[in-house]
Chain A
Amino acid sequence: MSHDHDDHHHDNHLDPMAARVRALETILTQKGLIDPAAIDAIVETYETKVGPRNGAKVVAKAWSDTGYAEWLRRDATTAIASLGFTGRQGEHMQAVFNTPETHNLVVCTLCSCYPWSVLGLPPVWYKAPPYRSRAVIDPRGVLEEFGLTLPAATKVRVWDSTAELRYLVVPMRPEGSQGLDEEALADLVTRDSMIGTGLASMPAKVPT
């Protein structure tokens, strides 16, 4: 099918995609099929409630509590749900732990599968062809583009999210983070470190 909305007289002040989406929302709303307030609520959820701070709390807890880390390794869905993070695109979670020997990297070569419940909506690059095509064949080259150079001997494990399992990378706890509480630790956990395209941040130097 082909719909070219570019020449719609009533939408010609909008760019083509804005016009296209507005037309869909208008038509479906007029038919009583969607509630625009529900769309607002969906957007607000991912703008304010569900994002990478959720995942950071999971990682910080795993760093602080070996019992929780074991639970996360064994049954990530339940361990993550215990912190209140559940739902769409996080129904079946797997946590994969970086070690000095192995670095984990997550991709979805076939579409855009991403653990929304702990990381929120994926960034554009995660869904775009350069990352999806190269992460599985040239992960080190991809990581270089994120400013991350792995030691030559480090093993690289790429997880292609081809089914409904969603992967959360647990980065290594940075040196110098001893004594920090979970909240301070969570501040070190970047989104990219939970995809595998980065490492956890180093703690700011505490003046002595």
Chain B
Amino acid sequence: MNGPQDLGGQMGFGPVAPEKEEPLFHADWEKRALGVTLAAGAFGAWNLDESRHARESLHPAVYYAATYYEIWTRALEVLLTRHGFLSEADLAAGEAVDDAATPKRVLKAADVPAVLAKGGPCDRPLAAPARFRAGERVRTKNFNPTGHTRLPRYARGKIGTVEAVHDGFVLPDSNAHGRGENPERLYTVVFDGSEVWGEGADPTLTVSIDAWESYLERA
């Protein structure tokens, strides 16, 4: 979706302002937000793509006013409610009022090191050969889906070169909406700065994205 998350090339946000000696967390609630988000993800009720879509579906005014842990927390409330773990009555009371759905698992402290060290690989074996090869010129699709996609607006309808051909990966556009993993081959596609940004682009710039096969067509 053309939501607030799709920031590449947007203007007006001001300088980056990196913080000297930045602390890992800026408040204790950020620690809890991190932990609650990961522990709730362990329920197995939604996937990473659905999480990302919940975050980008926040109203732009909310998204841009929030820090990232606030974005996570607000999206987590949406996910928990959607999947039956949290109710309006719970939130209104600030404590458990309604019964919850049954999660596939509850993350225990003893399991945390193993779970974090394992992660959640998203590569999937594919029988079909790669449609594109390294060095080939490709054009990205020009589309504006209302659902989740990982093809940023700045890189739509642009001609680039396939730099690397990867394995199959879970397709976010499908997986975010409960329509299955539908894995597709992934490609690193590199664009000249002038192709993406046109007049005035930095002549030394190239930008790459990682694009699923259905995002691409032969140029």
Contact = CB atoms under 8 A, between A and B. Distances in A.
Contacts of B119: 86-91, 117
A53 interface: no
B96 interface: yes
B207 A18 contact: no
A136 to B, nearest CB: 5
Contacts of B81: 1
Contact of B207 (A87, A128, A136): A136
Contact of B94 (A26, A35, A41, A110): A26
Contacts of B95: 23, 26-27, 30
A92 to B, nearest CB: 6
Interface string B20-44: 0010101111011111101110010
Q: Is the interface on chain B under 10, 10 to 19, 20 to 34, or 35 or more residues?
A: 35 or more
A133 B10 contact: yes
A27 B88 CA distance: 12
Contacts of A51: 24
B16 A127 contact: no
A21 interface: yes
Contacts of B207: 136, 157-158, 160
Given A1-B81, A91-B121, A38 B16 contact: no
B165 interface: no
Contact of A142 (B16, B106, B210): B16
Contact of A123 (B13, B22, B76, B123): B22
Interface centre among A32, A120, A154 (most CB of B within 10 A): A32
Contacts of B7: 109-110, 129, 132-133
B94 A43 contact: no
Nearest to A39: B35
A88 B116 contact: yes
A124 B19 contact: yes
A68 interface: no
A177 interface: no
B13 A23 contact: no
Interface of B: 5-11, 13-19, 22, 24, 26-29, 31-36, 38-40, 43, 52, 55-56, 64, 67-70, 73, 76-78, 80-81, 85-86, 88, 90-91, 94-96, 99-100, 103, 106-109, 111-113, 115-123, 150-152, 154-155, 166, 169-170, 186, 188, 190, 196-197, 201-202, 204-212
Interface of A: 1, 3, 5, 8, 10-11, 14-15, 17-18, 20-28, 30-35, 37-43, 45-47, 50-51, 86-92, 109-112, 117, 120-121, 123-125, 127-134, 136-140, 142, 145-146, 152-165, 192, 197
